[in-house]
Structure 1
Amino acid sequence: MKRIRSVLFFTWFSGLSIAAAQNVAVKGKVVDAQSHAPIEYASVALFRAGEAAPVAGNVSAANGAFTIRKTAPGHYQLKITFLGYQTLELSDVVVGNAPLDLGTIPLSPSGSMLREVGVSAQKAGLLNKIDKQRYDAGQFETAKGGSAIDVLKNLPSVAVNSQGDITVRGATGFMVLLNGKPVLADAQTVLSQLPANAIDHVELITAPSAKYDPDGRGGIVNIVTKKGAADGVTLTVNLQGGLPSTTDYNNLEKPQRYGADATVSFKQGKWDVSVGGNYTRNDNEGYREGNVYTKDFVRNTITRFPSTGERSFDRYNYAGRASVSFAADAHNVISAGFYSGKRYQARLADLLYHNTTADLTTNALISSTTYFNSNLQRKEGTFNLGNLDYTHIFANKSSLTASLQYEHDDLYGGTLNRNLQYPNTQDTIQFVNNPYRRPIGAVRGKLDHSINLGAGKLESGLQYRHDSQDGTFDYFVTPPTSQPDIDKFKGSTHAVNDIYSVYSQYSGKAGALEYNGGLRYEYATRTVRLSYDPSPHVLNLSNLFPSANLRYHLTQAWGLKAGYSRRVQRTSNLELNPIPEREHSETLEEGDPDLLPEFVDLAELGIDRTFKQGAFFGTLYYQHIQNPIQRLNSVYADTILNRVFTNAGSARLFGLEAGVNITPVKWWTLYLGANLYNYKIQGNISILDKPVTIANNDWAYSINGNATFQLDKTWSVQLNANYLSRRPTAQGQDGSFLVPNSAVRKSLMAGRLKIALLWQNMNMGILGANKQRITTYGPAFFTTTNYISETDVLMLNVSFSLNRFASKLKLPVSETGDREF
């Protein structure tokens, strides 16, 4: 019995020893080699000899400390990386049966990256690379609780007007990537759904290389979201709510502002799982002042119809997301994601019109009437999609990635347009109902290969994209009208887009020179079928898209770069739809099934400088636009303008953008960005078979900046302003637009809990904030509208994090539906 007990005890003790050996911890502390300040978020990984994938890893905490648990005994290579620092490799790390403490490990600033780091031992707010600028989202405190648009509008090249339209270097067309994946969506729609709190950083790719889709004449905006970085469970929860504006516009309803978003990530061994969800209600109160006239040269009359009244928005969205990644071994990784959501927007325009018709020569009054127009435009959509990716890493460290994404959406809504007697608004003059439904199906499949070749890397790939949309559009008028072309206001459409592409590019570095160059070939087909037209509208395109980028490091502090890229701005199905929609009492909107895409040549030349307190860059750029797509006005009837999407000749744009991120003293950080450009558009075109001459040329600029004051370790204050000057359009100009904001933030629980009070659209009765005048004109019409939105809005944002978030969250987003919403 004693022998048996001894054997059992020895077996039990050996088991404990083996188990302990399998759970040995490797720990240490990462600091800046110059300032000795701890470095947070440094990536620490253990590799076995000859293997490309790490066997274990973690990131450093706020004090620079890291711990890698469950490490089996053996010989390893330890690699520590952090943006702006030289990668440190310890080639022979021996792990035994006891915990291994590597002590304090200093990281030295990178010679090539030094110019890209704003402040040592602090996350860089601005980085300049060969083909892009990178901006830390955390530096824009006033965006917290908002959406991705609130982050984007702070970038030097980006401007957002009163309608929410986003421009990059003066161009409304640009491509959106989410964590490097294409989002073929209307930027305003998709970015408004992404919480600012979930964004880690934003990359502005102004001269994209051939490996990217060529979509978007303004370049590419890549949004990189946060994700749990360490093993275990990571949780973040954000709550936000706001009060009505201090300015009352006598709208029918008070705006509601509240929401929440949460993300949970689990990372353990080979598994990496994330689940997220959000609900946001973000209404907007406002007012509109308009003045319009049309001329009838045949009857020699002029009709004026000024209007004033409410223009408000009800908006909400909710969504659930999930993603999972499984690293089967060091050479194979499988990931999948799913998204399901609902979006809703209702725009109410309750306007009082005073219509007069007068003699064009003598201005003698012929007739006069006053009526009330209530116009409700509603858009809704349900979105369901999923993606599956597989990556294989070969023994020679080359990689092959296969990706598939599928989407099915249901978009529906319409416009209710009521013309009512005034002041007795119970009597209806005319009621027009424009309902529609537009289901969408889309699929994207791609294959990408990467291999180290010579002194650089060769990347190649092929891709297939398909989307189809069926549209049903109705038009009901009460009482019935004798409108001669009423049949064209209802019907159905079927649009199909197929795109086949292949690319190859090579990138590398030779001394102080970085370079990449490539070529993409694309064959695209587009077919639009209309219920009232037996002949399909077909477009076949075969195009090459070359790209090239150079970056030369003059010194450790100075860098030069140059780039070229050919791009395409594709047509949306809405722009192709010729069935008119009664968007307002005074407007009809319709597309053109034969509309051509824009083709754009982009070129840029830039310089950047890093100094002790921060970084600076300046870039000259040029765009030549063939077939620019514009929404142009013409006269449909005395009191109705026809807004038609058409190709407006040609255009060119050149400008200068610049940005600086500086910390003059420890407690004060200043960020400032500006963009100055000249835009020219001209052409002799036809709008609905009527000849029109387009000619406009003018300068415009935008300024975005913020100043952050760190009062102590837990209190901070930020002041922020976005200003857009007046700018030319194809048929007029958009007025200037100013939005100032401020935020006060308090950190609690060692930074895990953060409470921020935001003062949005600061006006104080004197700044003229959050309003913009839009003016268009032609030989037979003139229209100017002043859009006035609420000011002095207070928002409260509460954020709680359990463990650290970093890196990117690979949750899928809408490929096509967002664009058509």
Structure 2
Amino acid sequence: MQIKLLFLLLTTCLSLNTLAQKSQSSILVQGKVVDKSTSKPLDYATIALVNKEDKSILAGGITDSEGTFSIKSPHTNIYIEVSFLGYNTVVINDFKITGSIISLPNIEVQPDQEMLTEVTVTAEKSKTTFELDKRVFNVGKDLTSAGGNALDVLNNVPSVDVNIEGQISLRGNTNVQILINGKPSVMASANTIGTIAADMIEKVEVITNPSAKYDAEGTTGIINIVLKKEDQEGLNGSVTLNVGHPTNRSVGLSLNRRTNKFNLFSQLGVGKRSLLSTYNGETIDRQKTDPKPLFNSGSGGRDEQFYNVILGTDYNINPLNVITLSGHFAYEIEDEYADTHYDRRDANNQSIGASDRNEATEATNPKYQYDLSYKKSFEGNKDRSFTASFVGSYFGKDQSSEYTNTAVFGDFNDLFQRTTNDYSQANYSFQTDYVHPFSKISELESGIKYEINDISNDYELLDQTNNGWVSNPDFTNLFNYDQRVLAAYTTYAYELQKFGLKVGLRIENTNLNTFLQTTGEDNNINYNNVFPSVHSSYKISDELSLQMGYSKRIHRPNMWDLNPFTSISDNLNRRSGNPELQPEFTDVVELSAIQIWGLATLSASLYHSKTDDVVTRVISVQDSLTITKPYNLGTSNNTGLELNASVDPLKWWSIALDGNWVSFSRTGTLESNDFDFSNTSWSSQLTNKFKFPFDIEAEVRVDYQSKVEGVQGISDDRIYADFGVKKKFMKGRAVVNFSVRDVFKSRKYINISDQDTFYRYNERLRGAQQAVLGFSYGFGKGDAMEFSGHKMF
């Protein structure tokens, strides 16, 4: 069945690409564009030749350094639009044709002061807009994200939270799918999402209730990170320099060249940064008759060097056919270290044993992704289109570590270990989408997708003995994970001026094979699922709108969830997967309202989700050894209310407040242990932005997360603040920026598990207070990049 669908996909691509275009006699349009007030020529002004019948753009181009242009048009039934950033658009309907040539007199354009003011305000402020089945967070120039990465941007997005380990959650749930430019990407994995620079992001789409068009993966929803791709004609670019503490040095260059046929774009970056951490904890095994607590404390860090290249091009074959080819490559060098002191104590809190552990890790990470897509539009209906795309990506990690455990006194032993880890992940996806509008109010969309995910993890642990370094078979394995997902979907949308409805259905077939070579364990799973979706909207007035949605989602266990092999993070913590895990399934219903009062906006969402076979990581303690393993544990029900408000009380001051309250309950048992519980939690984010004289701006953001109860423990509440300030020069072409994240060093993550059989306390402060000073300069029509202080990929 899969082969037949792929054959149909390729046949459709070839057939549509060979559709004949109408042959028409052409004419030549030529002229010159000048500033009305100064009579100086304007280079890089945009010229569009527009069809009078259907308003489609037949051809276009830009003016040269002398302000002149010369463009061919396929026929004469046209009008001419002349536009330039910050100037009023000029429309020309009256012209003469002499010998197949339209020779225009000087076209005078004048600045639009009102437009320039609007552009400046819009560009500086992040805003959230609403569509039928998603919310769009348009990234402005948030000062607290300057010099940061995608994780810093996501921390500004309503409904999204990023914890100290870089784990992303949507409305408190980590089962969320991350996309890059609408597609799955190895760059969006937990290991690499933090390496995308903040200045590379144009917008973030938050889809809490996705339609059938999107992959069903991710029980909470989808976060789609859309990267910038300059579309200004001519040569544009910008350069950035950054320095920070802890170590944060980088240089970035962005270049873009656009012509009538081609759009060439590139990003280059190189840098170095350090992340520091401190931690402490306590573990008690209550199953012992005389339990003795084990305390640990220490510090560590990670040094990274990174090199990034992004190259791509759009080729406009003709007004109806476009091909896009792009490639990303990154190479990282990592050095990680940690020094931990262990202290065992008796009932009188007296030390009875101590040990020191030193860890040193080196790794190199090559990453790349390539993307080839073809889009065909149809003459006479610009909204009708066919798209075919292929995406390939690879992420590798060649890592080696050395561990030294030195007994200070007591019952601890010396232990010397080495590990090597060779990890590779290759993803490939083939997809076609066809959009067919029946009219201005109804549209059908359908598509097919085939995705391949191949992962290999080769891990070895070596113990030092009298005979030298000897491989430990209990902690050495090769695990292969191969997953194939074949999907087909269709959606139908019907949208009037006040009412809109979108229904959809998606069918997915999953074929998964895992193989643990060390033990010969082989698991094959094949299953089919149907995912319906319904979305509607109703516009009560220009100021008040309502939205409603329902969708069904899936969360498939990943490689680490399924790998039965036991891995060690240190000699007192071990993790293993569970090959018997089943996927989670979630049903979500959501009702939202958006109200606008002049300078103030309020949106509210009431939602409920039910998840079956919840994947839960269960902790057990045996003689101070902590073991973590995932299981399917019952059902969860979450009901939440989310509020997002923004207001501009003064021209120089704007306020944004986001809050989310959730009531949740869990039911489930494991080996006669009851894991039922219920509780509530809430989070909020307050952002203040200020505009001062002399082009100086400042921003202060405060985040709060309440105490959250889990299956086996509690995460303590936390509050932290970020600050940023910037100064513009040369009419915005140059910018100096200074930002401080976690101003008061209060972003601590504290987890407490107080169980009948064990007690664990963990406190970690990682990547704490960071300060970045940056400079950016834009040339051509490029704007200052607002600083790429971290890795792009």
> Is it true that 1:311 corresponds to 2:300 in the alignment?
yes
2:59 matched residue in structure 1? 55
1:287-339, CA deviations, whole angstroms, 9 ceiling, x for partnerless residues?
Answer: 11101111335xx3423111111132333432211111101101111111112
2:776 matched residue in structure 1? 799
> Is it true that 1:675 corresponds to 2:660 in the alignment?
yes
Deviation at 1:232, TM superposition (A): 0.6
> Is it true that 1:469 corresponds to 2:455 in the alignment?
yes
Deviation at 1:45, TM superposition (A): 4.8
**1:145 aligned counterpart, secondary structure:** coil
Report the RMSD for the aligned CA atoms in angstroms: 3.5
Shift in alpha-carbon separation, 1:348–1:294, aligned structure 2, 3 A:
farther
Q: Any residues of structure 2 matched to 1:551-562 within 5 Å, and which?
A: 551-562=537-548
Shift in alpha-carbon separation, 1:444–1:119, aligned structure 2, 3 A:
same
2:6 matched residue in structure 1? none
Alpha-carbon distance between aligned partners in 2 of 1:717 and 1:192, rounded to the nearest angstrom: 24
**1:296 aligned counterpart, secondary structure:** coil
Alpha-carbon distance between aligned partners in 1 of 2:691 and 2:224, rounded to the nearest angstrom: 29
2:369 matched residue in structure 1? 385
1:587-609, CA deviations, whole angstroms, 9 ceiling, x for partnerless residues?
Answer: 00111223222211121111111
Deviation at 1:740, TM superposition (A): 0.8
Alpha-carbon distance between aligned partners in 1 of 2:336 and 2:679, rounded to the nearest angstrom: 32
- What TM-score results when the alignment is normalised by the length of structure 2? 0.84
> Is it true that 1:656 corresponds to 2:647 in the alignment?
no
- For 1:355, the aligned partner's letter is R
Deviation at 1:521, TM superposition (A): 0.3
Shift in alpha-carbon separation, 1:320–1:309, aligned structure 2, 3 A:
same
Shift in alpha-carbon separation, 1:418–1:392, aligned structure 2, 3 A:
same
> Is it true that 1:759 corresponds to 2:740 in the alignment?
yes
1:472-494, CA deviations, whole angstroms, 9 ceiling, x for partnerless residues?
Answer: 2212223489xxx9634212112
Alpha-carbon distance between aligned partners in 2 of 1:673 and 1:68, rounded to the nearest angstrom: 50
- For 2:398, the aligned partner's letter is Y
> Is it true that 1:99 corresponds to 2:103 in the alignment?
no
Deviation at 1:423, TM superposition (A): 7.9
Structure 1 spans left out of the alignment, 5+ residues: 1-19, 30-40, 60-66, 83-87, 109-113, 245-255, 809-813
- For 1:97, the aligned partner's letter is L
> Is it true that 1:436 corresponds to 2:417 in the alignment?
no
- What TM-score results when the alignment is normalised by the length of structure 1? 0.82
2:165 matched residue in structure 1? 163
Deviation at 1:508, TM superposition (A): 2.9
Alpha-carbon distance between aligned partners in 2 of 1:513 and 1:542, rounded to the nearest angstrom: 34
Alpha-carbon distance between aligned partners in 1 of 2:589 and 2:680, rounded to the nearest angstrom: 19
Alignment check: 8 A CA contact 1:726 1:736 kept: yes
Alpha-carbon distance between aligned partners in 2 of 1:295 and 1:534, rounded to the nearest angstrom: 36
Alpha-carbon distance between aligned partners in 2 of 1:722 and 1:47, rounded to the nearest angstrom: 49
Shift in alpha-carbon separation, 1:791–1:122, aligned structure 2, 3 A:
closer
- How many residue pairs align between the two structures? 729
Alpha-carbon distance between aligned partners in 1 of 2:396 and 2:545, rounded to the nearest angstrom: 49
1:257 matched residue in structure 2? 248
**2:676 aligned counterpart, secondary structure:** strand
Shift in alpha-carbon separation, 1:726–1:380, aligned structure 2, 3 A:
farther
1:261-311, CA deviations, whole angstroms, 9 ceiling, x for partnerless residues?
Answer: 2221110111011111223433222211101111335xx342311111113
Alpha-carbon distance between aligned partners in 2 of 1:530 and 1:301, rounded to the nearest angstrom: 39
Mean Cα displacement is larger for which, 379-388 or 535-544?
Answer: 379-388
Alignment check: 8 A CA contact 1:377 1:583 kept: no
1:327 matched residue in structure 2? 316
Match of 1:416 among 402, 410, 427: 402
**1:197 aligned counterpart, secondary structure:** helix
**1:575 aligned counterpart, secondary structure:** helix
- For 2:369, the aligned partner's letter is L
Match of 2:528 among 522, 542, 547: 542
Structure 2 spans left out of the alignment, 5+ residues: 1-26, 37-43, 96-101, 786-790
Match of 1:788 among 757, 762, 765: 765
> Is it true that 1:578 corresponds to 2:564 in the alignment?
yes
Alignment check: 8 A CA contact 1:197 1:238 kept: no
- For 1:531, the aligned partner's letter is Q
Mean Cα displacement is larger for which, 610-619 or 457-466?
Answer: 610-619
- For 1:390, the aligned partner's letter is Y
Alpha-carbon distance between aligned partners in 2 of 1:758 and 1:681, rounded to the nearest angstrom: 41
2:749 matched residue in structure 1? 772
Alpha-carbon distance between aligned partners in 1 of 2:571 and 2:691, rounded to the nearest angstrom: 51
Shift in alpha-carbon separation, 1:612–1:474, aligned structure 2, 3 A:
same
Alignment check: 8 A CA contact 2:640 2:662 kept: yes
Alpha-carbon distance between aligned partners in 1 of 2:270 and 2:121, rounded to the nearest angstrom: 36
Identity %: 21
- For 1:760, the aligned partner's letter is R
Alpha-carbon distance between aligned partners in 1 of 2:508 and 2:642, rounded to the nearest angstrom: 31
**1:172 aligned counterpart, secondary structure:** coil
Alignment check: 8 A CA contact 2:124 2:141 kept: no
Alignment check: 8 A CA contact 1:154 1:722 kept: no
Mean Cα displacement is larger for which, 463-472 or 744-753?
Answer: 463-472
1:452 matched residue in structure 2? 437
**1:285 aligned counterpart, secondary structure:** strand
Shift in alpha-carbon separation, 1:618–1:582, aligned structure 2, 3 A:
same
- For 2:257, the aligned partner's letter is F
1:137 matched residue in structure 2? 139
Alpha-carbon distance between aligned partners in 1 of 2:364 and 2:580, rounded to the nearest angstrom: 27
Match of 1:698 among 679, 682, 687: 679
Match of 1:685 among 670, 676, 690: 670
Shift in alpha-carbon separation, 1:790–1:449, aligned structure 2, 3 A:
closer
Deviation at 1:683, TM superposition (A): 1.0
Deviation at 1:187, TM superposition (A): 4.8
**2:193 aligned counterpart, secondary structure:** helix
2:705 matched residue in structure 1? 724
Match of 1:218 among 199, 211, 220: 220
Mean Cα displacement is larger for which, 662-671 or 124-133?
Answer: 124-133
1:324-366, CA deviations, whole angstroms, 9 ceiling, x for partnerless residues?
Answer: 110110111111111221235554331111124x6xxxx5999
Alpha-carbon distance between aligned partners in 2 of 1:490 and 1:122, rounded to the nearest angstrom: 53
**2:275 aligned counterpart, secondary structure:** coil
- For 1:382, the aligned partner's letter is P
Alpha-carbon distance between aligned partners in 2 of 1:480 and 1:594, rounded to the nearest angstrom: 40
**1:402 aligned counterpart, secondary structure:** strand
